[in-house]
């Protein structure tokens, strides 16, 4: 949980193309009856994650709260010329994502496994557990490596807009990218964690419509079509997972799914 919280917080910086986290302040709320080593382990998880992205916990606050809370604030410094906003898309741009979606339904299955396992009688539990592992891997994989590729490959002008997909889901954050642009998006496929299409329907999450929230979700990047091949080859060279989800069209702020069910289950995420 400490790693997931740190990943979720710092990804907001990477969504703006910041490369280095200059400060991370942790926030933890704990019940009074929780084991004393619990907040220590959360901080250890945060520090382990931040060490991997060349940062650390620099301070923070702990409070008593009826239920556990984990999070924090992070800051970074970068040149104005290096900032990439969520707006700035251009017609014919290619859209890519750097993680599959489906964290909300698969973590709902995780909770059900612990409390009401009979609700999953129609599912192969080994497959569900494998998908849970993929979900955890997604939530603890930093988007910083994507930013490193942009900086090291000097792709600043090749990326017209980008954001990370979190609380508003795929369609919500893509809609933000399209605001005031007079452009739309044609979406061919959306990569998802195995079993999450069915689980989303079962639990009532709007994954097919693109409105299922994510935690520490993927980057959604609008790439100049002339630079697309160079950029994805650079991602491949750095072992960064990516998926081509569609392109920007001239349809005014319209998100059009080319198939009734655009979800595509990916076998693994590394």
Look up the pTM and report it.
Answer: 0.94
What lies within 8 Å, CB to CB, of 53 at 6+ separation is: 10, 21, 142, 144
If pLDDT is split at 50, 70 and 90, which confidence band does 267 have?
confident
CATH number at residue 21: 3.30.1330.10
**Taking the C-alpha atoms of 92, 11, 150 and 59 in order, what is their torsion angle to the nearest 10 degrees?**
160
Domain housing 57: 2-82
Is residue 105 included in any domain, yes or no? yes
Which regions of 135-265 does DSSP assign to beta strands (E)?
159-164, 184-187, 190-192, 219-223, 243-249, 255-257, 263-265
Is residue 87 included in any domain, yes or no? no
Is residue 150 included in any domain, yes or no? yes
Which residue from 255, 53, 245, 62 is spatially nearest to 146, judged by alpha carbons? 53
If pLDDT is split at 50, 70 and 90, which confidence band does 270 have?
confident
Q: Last residue of some domain: 33, 60, 82? A: 82
Tens of pLDDT, residue by residue over 185-231, are 999 999 999 999 999 999 999 999 999 999 999 999 999 999 999 99
List the single range of 25-29, 126-130, 198-202, 259-263 with lowest mean pLDDT.
259-263
Q: Assess whether 197 and 123 both reside in one domain.
A: yes
Tens of pLDDT, residue by residue over 117-133, are 999 999 999 999 999 99
Give the containing element (helix H, strand E) for 95. Answer: strand 94-97
Q: Assess whether 210 and 154 both reside in one domain.
A: yes
pLDDT value of residue 116: 93
Distance between CA atoms of 125 and 133, rounded to whole angstroms?
12
Q: Assess whether 34 and 159 both reside in one domain.
A: no
Tens of pLDDT, residue by residue over 218-254, are 999 999 999 999 999 999 999 999 999 999 999 887 8
Which residue from 85, 244, 256, 245 is spatially nearest to 184, judged by alpha carbons? 256
Q: Last residue of some domain: 51, 82, 113? A: 82
The total number of structural domains that make up the chain: 2
């Amino acid at each position: 949980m400490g790693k997931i919280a740190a990943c979720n917080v710092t990804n907001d910086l990477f969504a703006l193309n910041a490369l280095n986290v200059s400060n991370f302040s942790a926030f933890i709320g704990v019940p009074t009856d929780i084991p004393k080593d619990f907040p220590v382990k959360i901080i250890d998880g945060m520090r382990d994650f931040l060490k991997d992205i060349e940062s650390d916990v620099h301070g923070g606050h702990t409070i008593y709260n009826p239920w556990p809370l984990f999070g924090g604030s992070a800051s970074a410094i970068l040149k104005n010329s290096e900032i990439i906003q969520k707006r700035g898309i251009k017609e014919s741009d290619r859209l890519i994502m750097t993680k599959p979606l489906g964290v909300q339904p698969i973590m709902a299955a995780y909770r059900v496994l612990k409390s009401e396992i009979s609700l999953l009688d129609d599912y192969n539990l080994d497959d569900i557990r494998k998908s849970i592992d993929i979900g955890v891997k997604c939530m603890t994989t930093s988007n910083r490596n994507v930013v490193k590729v942009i900086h090291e490959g000097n792709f600043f002008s090749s990326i017209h807009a980008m954001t990370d997909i979190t609380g508003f889901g795929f369609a919500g954050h893509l809609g933000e990218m399209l605001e005031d642009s007079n452009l739309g998006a044609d979406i061919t496929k959306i990569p998802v964690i195995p079993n999450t299409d069915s689980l989303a329907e079962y639990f009532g999450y709007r994954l097919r419509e693109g409105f299922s929230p994510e935690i520490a979700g993927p980057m959604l990047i609008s790439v100049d079509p002339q630079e697309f091949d160079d950029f994805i080859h650079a991602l491949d060279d750095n072992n960064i997972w990516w998926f081509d989800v569609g392109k920007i069209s001239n349809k005014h702020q319209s998100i059009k799914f080319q198939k009734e069910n655009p979800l595509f289950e990916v076998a693994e995420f590394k």
